[in-house]
Structure 1
Amino acid sequence: MSLSLRLRRASAAGALLAAALFATACEPTDPVAPASPAAHSSSAPAAPAPTPTPSPTPTPTPTPTPTPTPTPEPTPPATPAPAASTPPAKAAATPTTARTTSKPPTPTPAHTQEAAACHPLSNAGNCYKAGQFCRNSDHGVSGTDASGRTIVCVDKNGWRWIAS
């Protein structure tokens, strides 16, 4: 037997052994990983080994279980009330209290003097003070600060609130 024939057989046997080990190590649901080129280190070209493809297995579909339907219970027959020979005694009138299911009124949040006395408010809901920068939407607007002083948004070294 020539040396090249032995090498071919050895590489083919090695490839089959590697494929068998790879196939037994994988679960049927695992994705197939491509073989790395380092796995084939023979100098002779080997015939490509067929890779086994997993066959799809049918999954059982759950069948709905029937739910038991409740059977109605028979109602007892109504019995007629015995005729009373004497009129029933008048029950003593007891005062009843009416129950209310309404919720108590929710307390209104107390507004601070700061929030009620100044305008316009910043995006955070705070009062502006003289010297602070104005928003673009406030250019030329006048308002009051927390102290009640009138402030105006003017362009003075940048748009700022200035006390007037």
Structure 2
Amino acid sequence: MNNLIIETLSWGKLEVGEEQIFHLSKGLPGFDDETDFALIPMAETPFWVLQSVKDKGLSFLLGDPFAFYPTFEFELPDDEAEELEIVTDVVVRCIITLKEQAEQSTINLLAPIVLNPSTRSGKQIVLHRSPYHTKHSLLQEQPVIDGKDGG
């Protein structure tokens, strides 16, 4: 396996393994020309960065939707599964929009990014007729205030 050095705004030059590079043949909405991305895990978090291999200024924060919404589920349409050649292995990530106030940050469950780690291909798939939308709160669980003063 060959490693690749890519340029990022956040981390400067970064070495990524071949297995981290995914080809999204249709790009992402609004970024149709960018088709090759590195999937970079953020250690010990449910977050990844999807970094364009060509454009260091283009990256997306991704989250594991199941870490935030354990009941999240959808059926991958047959034609999409076929296009991505998905047999068994599949990785699902969703784009996260971070806000200055963390409680306003959102995750897009309506259009997950579906990745096939075997072929290293992927696609953002819009779930038609789904209960999900583009701005689910990342912090759905609000802390319970029990009224005790702690002392």
Whether TM-score is above 0.5 comes out as: no
Structure having the higher strand fraction is: 2
Q: What TM-score comes out, normalization by structure 1 length?
A: 0.17
The structure with the larger Rg is 1
Greater relative contact order (Cα < 8 A, sep 6+)? 2
Structure having the higher helix fraction is: 1
Q: What TM-score comes out, normalization by structure 2 length?
A: 0.18
